[in-house]
Structure 1
Amino acid sequence: MWVLLLVFVGLPNHAYTKQPNIVVIVADDLGYQDVGFRGSDILTPNIDRLADEGVILENHIVSSICSPSRASLMTGRYGIRTGFWKGNIKPNEEFGLGLDETLLPEMLKRNGYKTHGVGKWHLGMHTWEHTPPKRGFETWFGMFLGEQGYFSHKKIGRTDLRENYYDLGNLVDNVRSDLKGKYNTYLFTDKSVELVQNHDQTKPFFLYLAYTAPHIPHEVPEEDADRFASHILGKRKNYAAMVSVMDEGVGKIADALTNNGMMENTIIVFTSDNGAYYKSVGSNYPLRGGKSSFLEGGVRGVTFVHSPLLQKSGYTNTNLHHVTDWYATFQKLAGDKPEEGSKAQLPIDGVDIWSSASNDEPCRDEILYELRDPSKRLDSQGSRGLKNVRKYPVQLKTTKMKFRKGDSRDAQEFFVIRWKNWKLLTGSGLEFQGWSPDRGLKEYRNFVNYNKEPHPRSLVSGTFLFDLSTDTREEHNVADSHPDIVNILLEKKQGYLDKVKIVEGRNYSNAGMVDGVWKPWVEL
């Protein structure tokens, strides 16, 4: 998944005279290498141009899967604080971002912003109070769940595409079954362009656009597969075309901003929330691992900043950044006074990185990738009678355990942290994966001997230390030769453990599937 954040600011170093407008564009499960400026054969001219004219943020870290990255972006808080350390929200799960959290659109709205959301939510829908129009978005066009058919707009046979807005203070829920058959990437682009074109520029503007491309299912109009990816063979062709259609949408939004006189006061930040699936059609080359792994291929986002307001541009920035940092950055740029908010400001983990992104100034030297502790997870209950719900607990018996599709993460206990150039992974149930091939040109099965080596997606136990300054591919475990560094990082664990939010028992219910439509089913 990728995220594009376009922020309109006044002057560098926060000496601005007007509030910034902010646009966040998210692509879903896009590989680290799968853009042109990383040498890919996938056509992304609009993304490439914006990156080439801006600053590439090489060490921008996100979570390894969908919901946790989105939760951190929306709250500025690590998953250990929000409860999203437990992973993605299931379609029928009664869980979401806590109502005590002040989300990014809520924070911006209280500072006078017009707030709009388009695309994918995946942060809770069991109650209306957990849905986008109740979390600060004045309008919403898109889906509440995490996946849908690109033409059917359905998940498990029920429609999940709706338009929400307020009419005289009353929330309107318009399920858009009439759009069946229309490609959702085009729908999301068109709605976003419309919102930019119709914006009243006397007020600051916030748009959150979360594409589902190129997440599975890999569906794309046939004419687009031929138009964008005729040079790519096999299953990767559809995936590549999906990325290119999204890229075309990014270009249309940039054009709309320019034509509406907004681009000169715009900062564009583009990032991925996790890498492409390992052993699939996306490529995270040359990094190790992919989605669901805390190896760099799973968590190093493809990220750049583009703006005429940048003090420096046209280079690669190697400072350490995290997806939580955008909340703190936007909060500062918006001039927010959290002490005056209607809800108490919960502690945030992000830091203001505008000076770092704009002027290459260092801003942080430590990032928590993840911490999981089974003692913080209470038992869940209720029906789990839907597809894609994990049913089988992992049995952690050996240091080389095969990963089965559908396995639960309930038994995992591990700690992953980055400090300066050092990265530590320690514990049990760590998902280790191999390396992506360059541009997906080789089959993954050629990389692993199944008879003599672990499965390419293995749950392992142990302590692993990598020096990312010399070993970006995470090939050499140097834990034994640097026990002092291991101890320094292990001493940080308790401080994070004290912040972990207990994930309480919850229900799974089929009650949200009503008359062929997904709807919130719990009344508060």
Structure 2
Amino acid sequence: MKLFLLTIGIVLFADYGESKTPKQPNIVMILADDMGYQDVGFRGSNILTPNIDKFAKQGVILENHYVMPQCSPTRASLMSGRYAMRTGFWKGNIIPNEEWGLRLNETLLPEMLKRNGYATHGIGKWHAGMYTWDHTPAKRGFDTFFGLYLGAQGYRSHKRSGHVDLREDYHDKDGKFVDDIKFDLEGKYSTYLYTDRAVEKIETRDKTKPLFLYLSYTAPHSPNDAPDDEVKRFASQIPSSPKQRRKYATQISIMDEGIGKVMKTLENENMLDNTIIVFTADNGAFYGKKGSNFPLRGGKLSLFEGGVRAVSFINSPLLNTTGYTNTNLHHVTDWYATFQKMAGDQPEKYSKPQLPLDGVDIWESVSNNKPCRDEVLMNLRDHKMIQDSSEHEFLVKRDEFDLEEDFGELGDDEFPDDDACDFFVIRWKDWKLFKGTYKVQDWTNKNSLSDAKFDRSEDVLTGGGGTGSGIKLFDLSKDPREEHNVADKHPDVVKSILEKLPGYMKNMTKINKRTRSKEGMKGNAWVPWVENKK
């Protein structure tokens, strides 16, 4: 049976005609965490990813699939179908103990699919809010959830700052919510656990319903940890410098092997003929460390291509055209609109209002290689949109504390954003424009991460507000590495793009200031600490 994949992991049950959208498919979405653009075999990496390579080549590689430059914002956009400037995640990641998350008026992807008859299961990393129980995944549309609420944890301890954050959440036969914290799984490597749980959910699924499986691996996010025997098995070909690279490579290879097991289970269950599978990373690898985004500029936290153009593919026998690289413009918000149409959702039938979507239905684009959009907002940030409030939603002001002391076991992959930065970054057709202030990251050489170039003469894109001042424009069709600022040569293009800014600003969500709380660390575990408002 021929295997076909879809970039974030989607499994479908549907009859499909040449121009017909699949109806009520099974959907399997697979996310990697902080994975480099170049760190797959089909891009020439020496990291072993035979399963990803196979399924990507048999399906459609999505070359211009954009995400956000950090974990929480990408997940919020995937779950809501909306840009970060609408969800409030324009500010960046949720840091542990912060009292905000995806607002409860958002109809999330699993919630939308569930009301259309899907069985919905979430596995792995949530990172979209946990300060109240109502913000946790099994209260946001997932029938079951197995994984972590926060953004990272020890791969074997399952702890963040000494407290466990690995749990199984569900509603029992009487409808009572159960949060079963898995203290007994200490020592078990989390990537294996997530794969095994995905296999189990496929094998024990309710066969009367289409399946939505969200498999959100934490690999290869920090901490830099992999079993020694697996490092020998997977990474002996990786140079020993930089020293983190071998374990990083092993983290990816273990995930890749898990994806192969999931696909084999789908085959054994006779599901592949009616399945769409999508795989994507949530952002690029952390710049200049263990991962490689070559040949792109920058990495995680950066709005340069290496931070926001994710390694992605889609595979399904329902695709009309396969075995090629699709260069159409796509964004992580698009999957919501695409799956909504497949599910046959009629949002007007429900009392909860449908908030405006930014994503578009991209099925014809990925299936028949038809263009679907010419514009993607990378992000918009404006500190005038932060307001004082005593309410719990969107609390962004961090207490001053030593991150290394509190969260040192995770290294330097997570830290607050620079509050001094306001910016507007957008891609329109082949043009990409930066306006405002934003930290610059440069390039990693192909064969040596230790030779990453840092241009200290230009730490920020300066200015903002003046005519041409503080503006950079790149022509990605000629300059995919974003090396040459051509703003002065194309003032008409700059003017046209900047005219779009007021339209985005009027739809931007205000967020509130508030300090963090540490009340969520109780009884050796992370638990919600704010009472739900009814």
Output the TM-score relative to the length of structure 2: 0.91
* Counterpart among 99, 103, 127 of residue 94 in structure 1: 99
For residues 416 and 280 of structure 2, the distance between their equivalents in structure 1, rounded to whole angstroms, comes to: 28
CA contact (8 A) 1:288 1:473 kept: yes
Render the CA deviation track for 1:377-420: whole Å, top value 9, x for unaligned. 125688837653999xxxxxxxxxxx999564323211011111
Asked whether 1:73 is paired with 2:78, we answer yes
Contact in 2 for aligned 1:197/1:256 (Cα 8 Å): yes
User: Which residue pairs with 1:252 in the alignment?
Assistant: 261
Between 1:229-238 and 1:70-79, the stretch displaced more is 229-238
Match for residue 229 of structure 2? 223
Q: What is aligned with 1:422?
A: 431
Q: Is the 8 A contact 1:389 1:406 kept in 2?
A: no
What is the DSSP-based 3-state SS (H/G/I as helix, E as strand, rest coil) of the residue aligned with 1:494? helix
1:272 to 261, 277, 281: 281
Provide Cα deviations, 1:251-283, integer angstroms capped at 9, x if missing partner. Answer: 000000010010111122222221001110100
Partner of 2:184: helix, strand, or coil? helix
Match of 1:332 in 2: 341
Residues 223-242 of structure 1: pairs in structure 2 closer than 5 A:
223-232=229-238, 233=240, 234-242=243-251
Q: Which residue of 2 aligns with 1:400?
A: none
Counterpart code for 2:485: N
Matches within 5 A, 1:43-442: 43-167=48-172, 168-232=174-238, 233=240, 234-379=243-388, 384=399, 388=403, 408-428=417-437, 430-439=438-447, 441-442=448-449
- Alpha carbons of 1:106 and 1:484: their partners in 2 closer, same or farther (altered >3 Å)? same
Residue 5 of structure 1: how far off its partner (Å): 2.1
CA contact (8 A) 2:461 2:471 kept: no
Report Cα offsets for 1:290-328 as digits up to 9, x if no partner.
000000000001111111111111111111000000000
Deviation at 1:9, TM superposition (A): 4.7
Q: Which has the higher strand share?
A: 1
CA distance in structure 2 between the partners assigned to 1:21 and 1:507 by the alignment: 42
Unaligned runs of at least 5 residues, structure 2: 1-5, 389-394, 407-411, 464-469
SS of 1:5's equivalent?
coil
In 2: Cα distance, 1:28 partner to 1:260 partner: 28
| Aligned mate of 1:36, from 29, 38, 41 | 41
- The verdict on how the C-alpha distance between 1:56 and 1:405 changes in structure 2, with shifts beyond 3 A counting, is closer
* Contact 1:268/1:307, CA 8 A, preserved across alignment: yes
Q: 2:11 aligns with which of 7, 11, 36?
A: 7
The match for 1:497 among 502, 505, 510 is 505
SS in 2 for 1:504: strand
What is aligned with 1:473?
A: 481
Question: In structure 2, how many angstroms separate the alpha carbons of the residues matched to 1:237 and 1:267?
Answer: 32
TM-aligned CA deviation for residue 226 of structure 1 = 0.5
Deviates more, 1:100-109 or 1:55-64: 55-64
| Cα separation, 2, equivalents of 1:154 and 1:371 | 33
Shift of 1:431: 1.8
Q: 1:415/1:390 Cα in 2 relative to 1: closer, same or farther (>3 Å)? A: farther
* Alignment partners' CA distance in 2, 1:186 and 1:135: 25
The whole-number CA distance in structure 2 between the counterparts of 1:24 and 1:464 is 35
Q: In structure 2, which of residues 431, 450, 475 is the aligned counterpart of residue 443 of structure 1?
A: 450
CA contact (8 A) 1:416 1:425 kept: yes
Structure 1 pair 192–404 and aligned structure 2 pair: CA distance change class (3 A) = closer
Normalising to structure 1: TM-score of the pair? 0.93
Q: Aligned AA for 2:231?
A: A
Q: Which runs of 5+ in 1 are unaligned?
A: 392-402
What is the count of residue pairs matched by the alignment?
Answer: 505
2:398 and 2:62 map into 1 onto residues whose CA distance is 43
Give 3-state SS (helix, strand or coil) of 1:178's partner: helix
Distance 1:267 1:382, change over 3 A: closer
Are residues 1:511 and 2:519 paired?
Answer: yes
1:247–1:499 CA distance, 2 compared to 1 (3 A): same
